[in-house]
Structure 1
Amino acid sequence: MKICIVTPSLGLGGAERSAAIQSVMFSNLGYEVHVVTITDIINYDYAGALFNLGAFKDKRNSVLNKVKRSIMLRKYLNTHQFDFIVDNRMRTNGLFNEVSVCKYVYRGFKVVYVIHSSAYINDFKNSPVINEWLLQDAYQVVAVNPRLCESIKSLYKKRGIICVENAVDLEAVHRATQSEFDIDYPYILYCGRLDEHCKNISLLIKGYAKSQVYNSGVKLIILGDGLEKPLYEQMVTDLNITEHVVFKPFTNNPFVYMKQAICTVLTSLYEGFALVLIESLATGTPVIATNCETGPSEIINHNENGLLLDSYDDTVLADAIKKMVNDQEWYQQVKANALDSVAKFSKDAISKKWQMVFEKV
């Protein structure tokens, strides 16, 4: 069986890391795997052949160049005659792109569309007829967590929607945590894109400042890249906590940071799966997350492997951070629960669900 995975990139985000893990899972199942990247960002390890479509993108990303790349991708798919295409794109690049891909590039192929973000729900509601039409020929629509699956089912009333969670490579995470690490101070961690619209990092900075755990020497590490980094640097300056907040660039190995952190914090306004929470738990590190529409509540068992916050109030977040830092008896209990709580997201467990999609077993 030949499977083509289409992904925005192989770097920077959780959905992209999930696509990389898909390639490994499918290869381990004995399938021939090809990975197509829409942008020229290749950081994560992957299995199979790579077609870097992003290498052909011009600086202006002109309409003519988009058409050229669509033709190139169509030719690639026809040449290899894939049994399935697994589309992990975000589908946020406009109607022209979506019509080009769904109705021209993918025409005649069995396509599995993976919905990674709850933001898609609002996009669909804004243009329900068009979005239904775009995916009407889908072989399968997959949502990456149960709540997202139920929400999408309410939109696509005549189409079967299934849930296949993103996987975490527990063995690879463990190996990565053995790398050398030279940070010698305690810290809490944010790991991901520096994107205020989704990740709401300003809340984290305010909550950290209000917690005053820096008086105990506990710093905040913000690990990642993004256009809004200057916004956060200015906020840190305004709050007079510059010496306590450390900005670190994107790395292929965030796991070593997670392993040594007191906790990983996610204050998102929306998520699809929140893979970073699972990855942190896989290193044995508890998590704090806001209970956004989908994602965290399927991962966090409140007071068992972390804290799930039903508020975007910085005081509530500050109290959660202080609890992680100061309540050592409770902290050791949730830390001990962390790894076992994500066993259901292992490659082996999720591979079986994907095998059912492809082979209908």
Structure 2
Amino acid sequence: MLTEAGHAVHLVTITDKIGYEFSGRLYNLGKYKNATNGVFNKLKRFQHFKRYLYEQEIDVVLDFRMRRNALKEYCIQRYLYPGFKVVFMVRSSHLNYYFPKPDFAAKRLFKEAGICVLTEAMKQSIEQRFGFQKIKVIPNAINVSAYQQDFTSPDDVIRPYILASGRLQKGVKQFDKLIETYAKSELPKLGIDLYILGQGEMLSELQQLAEDLKIADKIIFKGFVKHPEPYVAHALFTVLCSAFEGFPRVILESLACGTPVIAIDCPTGPRELLDGTNGILVPHQDFEALKEAMNRLALDEPTRNRFKAASQKSIRKFDITQVTPQWQSYLNALYDD
């Protein structure tokens, strides 16, 4: 988006893993990381990064790192970032990912910093907890026009299914609770499978759970799917039951594909995306309500079709054509500051 808007974008990654297509110039600091990842290796990568910032004459740094170590943040701000305009990005409502403990250290480190978040709820949460004032809200964007096509049904699909996507890790996406809820629902009896896209350390545990619940043949773990749109477009609906989010692209992409969504009202994101015309929002951590919503939408084809018809229109304000000017205005103000 920023490249197409005319900005020279440099992507700096601290791990040697590139999983998605990108535009701009990549600087892979992960290639300098050795097996021990000791203090001298870290200092070496620090120097590489600092030199790169100066050599490329970077105007603005958008810092997406998780920032949980107060001493590390002090060193970065004291020795790496002076002379650069830095915006600290916050991409989850779980603020402890992005602001180190104790809170007084975070307040000291980020009091005058520019901060960019995804939702108004995240902004209010940061203001209430830390008292920060320089917070900008810019949501995730999606190119809706790219989804205005007929996606061919995946070859491996043989029965109707619902869909869930995300990294298989503990405590965030709550796939274990989703599987338990699915098992208690009417969907297995109706011949409706559950497809799960994603990979992570919980895979074997989740597979065992499906075995224990005697629904292993109805839960299909697809792993990482580089182009998931066909699976999204042909699902009856998408389910999201995260403990917390930021502004979930899973919901954006599902609605862009014309697929309704059932989501738990976790902080934050689902409430901003589901307006009653495109899916169902259920109370946070109410898995009985989630089960009932799944049963209802699986059996109610007219409602699914109504949600489908409204889905793309409901996210027009998050289209790339609407969000790009927000970034343009924000960055221009930083350039001119």
TM exceeding 0.5: yes
Letter in 1 for 2:324: S
Q: Is the CA contact (8 Å cut-off) linking 1:202 and 1:232 kept in structure 2?
A: yes
Deviations along 1:250-286, one digit per CA (max 9) or x if unpaired, are 1221222111111111111111111211111111001
Rate the CA distance shift 1:158–1:188 in 2: closer, same or farther, 3 A: closer
Query: In the alignment, is residue 89 of structure 1 matched against residue 65 of structure 2?
Result: yes
Secondary structure of 2:252's match? helix
Rate the CA distance shift 1:330–1:254 in 2: closer, same or farther, 3 A: same
What root-mean-square deviation, in Å, do the aligned CA atoms of Structure 1 and Structure 2 show? 2.0
Q: Distance in 2 between matches of 1:163 and 1:190?
A: 27
Deviations along 1:89-116, one digit per CA (max 9) or x if unpaired, are 2224x33443343332222100111111
1:229 Cα deviation after fit: 1.1
* Map of 2:292 onto structure 1: 319
* Map of 2:311 onto structure 1: 338
Unaligned ranges ≥5, structure 1: 1-24
1:121 Cα deviation after fit: 5.5
Identity %: 35
Indicate which of 7, 15, 20 corresponds to 1:44. Answer: 20
Query: In the alignment, is residue 230 of structure 1 matched against residue 204 of structure 2?
Result: yes
1:129 Cα deviation after fit: 1.8
Indicate which of 29, 43, 49 corresponds to 1:67. Answer: 43
Secondary structure of 1:213's match? coil
Secondary structure of 1:226's match? coil
Query: In the alignment, is residue 117 of structure 1 matched against residue 92 of structure 2?
Result: yes
Alignment of 1:269-348 (within 5 A): 269-302=243-276, 304-348=277-321
Q: Is the CA contact (8 Å cut-off) linking 2:70 and 2:106 kept in structure 1?
A: no
Q: TM-score, normalised by structure 2?
A: 0.93
Secondary structure of 2:285's match? coil
* Map of 2:233 onto structure 1: 259
Letter in 2 for 1:95: A
Letter in 2 for 1:326: L
Q: Is the CA contact (8 Å cut-off) linking 2:164 and 2:239 kept in structure 1?
A: yes
* Map of 1:105 onto structure 2: 80
Rate the CA distance shift 1:173–1:113 in 2: closer, same or farther, 3 A: farther
1:201 Cα deviation after fit: 1.2
1:131 Cα deviation after fit: 1.2
Q: Distance in 2 between matches of 1:32 and 1:259?
A: 34
Rate the CA distance shift 1:44–1:172 in 2: closer, same or farther, 3 A: farther
Q: Distance in 2 between matches of 1:117 and 1:258?
A: 23
Rate the CA distance shift 1:39–1:286 in 2: closer, same or farther, 3 A: same
Q: TM-score, normalised by structure 1?
A: 0.87
Q: Distance in 2 between matches of 1:34 and 1:91?
A: 20
Structure 1 runs (4+) deviating above 6 angstroms are: none
Q: Is the CA contact (8 Å cut-off) linking 1:206 and 1:314 kept in structure 2?
A: no
Q: Distance in 1 between matches of 2:153 and 2:77?
A: 45
Letter in 1 for 2:89: V
* Map of 1:27 onto structure 2: 3
Q: Distance in 2 between matches of 1:287 and 1:136?
A: 38
Q: Distance in 2 between matches of 1:332 and 1:59?
A: 53
1:238 Cα deviation after fit: 1.1
Letter in 1 for 2:224: F
Unaligned ranges ≥5, structure 2: none
